[in-house]
Each structure stands twice: as structure tokens, then as C-alpha cells.
Amino acid sequence: MNQGTYVFPQLIKLIHWQSFARYVKKYNGDYRVQSFTCWHQFLCMSFGQLTQRESLRDIVNCLQAHEGKLYHMGLTQGVKRSTLADANESRDYRIYSDLAHSLIAKARKLYQGNLESVELDNVIYALDSTTIELCLDVFWWAKFRKHSAAIKLHTLLDVRCEIPCFIHISDGKFHDVNVLDILEFEPEAFYVMDRGYTDWERLYQIHRAGAFFVIRAKKNLSFERIYSRQVDKSTGLRCDQTIRFKGHYAACRYPEHLRRIKFFDSEHEVTYVYLTNHFEAKPMEIATLYLNRWKVEIFFKWVKQHLRIKRFWGESPNAVKTQIWIAVCTFVLVAILKHRLKTPHSLNEMLQILSVSAFDKTPINQLFMKIKNKNQDPPISNQLNFFD
């Protein structure tokens, strides 16, 4: 890359500008806009995410302090807080949602690893949600409980590449299981969920779509054993059964047989019972698939620690969704950069370096030159890392 180019534009060059222009045209994002376009809005908001700003005023003050460099950053003029706030309120968040999905598709091709103890070639997804609490007086549209507001991020994570490929933003009252009505299920793919997603009618739709699911069974499950397979109990397995439901409503909503696998975790002395509609995989592979569901929990913890999605820079649903989707774009951009540079740095370390180097003219690959082991600090055991 050009040695005279600032670090932030070097990162932004990973975006296909013509694709972004198509998304803007699709949703009329620049309709009657004279100067501050959707591209300028994205640059400001992504800059705020990358440099970990706390508010729109914080973003604007930081940019104004480097006013002479804004042209080379891609901003043709100065930025006002009111202009940026109005853009977040009025311009369709789906522009940045579509941009995020295009970057996600690119990143998923780069990161496709193998799972330990799993020989399956299927795509594996982990589905879960996280709740972000808000102030009810400000975010009245996101009412959660009587005196509080919240939004939920329903996320479908590709377990092999640890990239979120679907995010649905709802208010706090939206039940997790309802997101199954929105998803388009991919044939032959695995969907791994906790027992909060137990709804036999919806799970049967996954089965009819030719996809597979792995879900924890509830304790009050009423079933009849049809067949039992032999298991090696030294591995922690306790049973591998073919079952059918005894309850009338459950049997009507899911009329097919299911596979029931019981596994005892000796380390934590906990017994898990899994249900799946896949009968060919080894029972330990099913247990391992569910174990990898925790990657989506790690993803939630990571983005809450390192991206600005807990304190929002606008009050409307559109402003909140715009901020979240641009945060996702920034996350995926750094992940793509990590793969291209083949750097040993963790994603967290890369964000820390980029956050203080946005106005440097250093070639971006030189920022992440491999540090000799003798000069490296010992890793922090409880630090969340991605793409190691």
C-alpha cells in the first residue's frame, strides 16, 4: 500500500466501493444529499468504532483536531455533530447491513477451519442471543420490563470461521424462539441451540428444510425409546437412543423420530442430554458440536468489550441499528486484514494498534510486524481472542 496513505484509509480500501454504491442506490441513501453522503457517514462511524470513541461529539472533536488530514482520510470537509446525528436518524440502516453481509461472505471464505473430534464437512452454525440494557426514558421503543428497556442481538455464528453470518436486532420482549421464523435454513447445515429454542413445530421446519439441529433436551421431555445403540461409557457417553414423543401435541408438531444422546461431563459433574435429527454422526461428534455452541457466547463477550455497542450514539431504532451494523463491518474488516497480513497478533491486539494509528502514514503491514518472543509479554489467560 501507498506509504503516504494514512492507516485508516488503508483499512477502508478493503471495501469494494462500487458494491457500497449499489447498496446506497438500492435504499436511496443519498437522495437529496448535497455533501455529507452515506460514504462519509460510514467513514465517521467506522472511525469512531475503530478508535473507540464514546459519543458523536467525541468523534467530531477528534476529527476536527486533524482537520488538515480529513481530505486524505476520505472526508472532503469537516464534520458537524448535528449532521452526523441526522444521518444516523434518517438514512436506512439496511445500507450498512448489506455491506456487513458482503464483508461477512468474503471473510467466511478466508476462515474455514476444522473442529477437533468432528469429521463432518457440514456447515455448523451456533444460534443464540444477548441482551443489551437501555434507559427506558430515552429508548421508549425498546420496552423490556416495567421500568427498563433493552434490545436483543440474535446472532447466527459460523462456528468454523467464528464470523457472525446473521444478526437480527429486536426489542427485549422478542422471544428467542421467534427468530427461527426469520431464518432461512441451509440444507445439510447444522444449527446448534440451547433449550430456550425448544419449539417442536419450528424445529420440524428445520428438518423439512433438509437441515439438522442439535439442541439440549428439557428435563420434562416425555418420550418413548424405539432403539438403543451401544456406546463407550469411558468417553462419558451414557446412551444413544432413537425416540419418539409420547405427548399428543409434541407428536403432532414433530411426527418424526429423534436421536437422544446423554453425555456425562466428569470434569464439571454435569449430565447433558442432546436431541438431534441427524442419525449418522458419531455420538461424541454431536456432543462436541454442542460444546462449540459456546463460541457464540465468547463472541458476545468480545464485541461488548471491544466495540461500541453498549452505549449508543442515537436514540431511534434506525440510529441504533446503524451503529451496530457499522460495528460489525469494522469487526469483519479487521478480521479480513488479519488474514491478509498473516499476522500472529490477536484481533484485540490489532484493534489496540489500529486505534492509536489511524492518522499514521505507516504502511499497515509494518504496524503488525512479528515481535520476537523474547520481547513479547506473557498472554493474559482470561483475555478473549479470535482467529488465533
Tens of pLDDT, residues 226-260: 999 998 888 889 999 999 999 889 999 999 999 99
Tens of pLDDT, residues 153-188: 999 999 988 889 899 999 889 999 999 999 999 999
Q: Catalogue the E-assigned strands of 220-331.
A: 223-229, 237-245, 258-265, 270-276
Question: What whole-number percentage of the chain has pLDDT above 90?
Answer: 55
Please compute the mean of the pLDDT values over residues 135-148 and round it to a whole number: 88
The pTM of the full predicted model, rounded to 2 decimals, is 0.86
Tens of pLDDT, residues 189-218: 999 999 999 999 999 999 999 999 999 999
**Band of residue 125 on the pLDDT scale cut at 50, 70, 90:** very high
pLDDT at 385: 57
pLDDT at 147: 85
Question: What whole-number percentage of the chain has pLDDT above 70?
Answer: 94
Angle at 44 between CA 38 and CA 48, to 5 degrees: 140
What are the CB-based long-range contacts (under 8 Å, 24+) for 112-121?
112/160, 112/161, 113/160, 113/161, 114/160, 115/159, 115/160, 115/288, 115/289, 115/292, 116/288, 117/284, 117/285, 117/288, 118/285, 118/288, 118/289, 119/282, 119/285, 120/190, 120/281, 120/285
Tens of pLDDT, residues 259-315: 999 999 888 889 999 999 999 999 999 999 999 899 999 999 888 888 888 889 999
- Non-local CB neighbours of 380 within 8 Å, separated by 6+ positions: none
Give yes or no for a contact between 350 and 46, defined as CB atoms under 8 angstroms apart. no
- Non-local CB neighbours of 375 within 8 Å, separated by 6+ positions: none
Please compute the mean of the pLDDT values over residues 346-359 and round it to a whole number: 87
3-state SS assignment for residue 231? coil
Give just the sign of the alpha carbon dihedral 81, 86, 88, 91.
negative
pLDDT at 375: 45
Q: Which residue from 256, 255, 258 is spatially nearest to 225, judged by alpha carbons?
A: 258
pLDDT at 160: 87
Please compute the mean of the pLDDT values over residues 368-383 and round it to a whole number: 51
Give just the sign of the alpha carbon dihedral 335, 340, 342, 343.
negative
**Band of residue 1 on the pLDDT scale cut at 50, 70, 90:** very low
Residue 63, pLDDT above cutoff 80? yes
Residue 382, pLDDT above cutoff 60? no
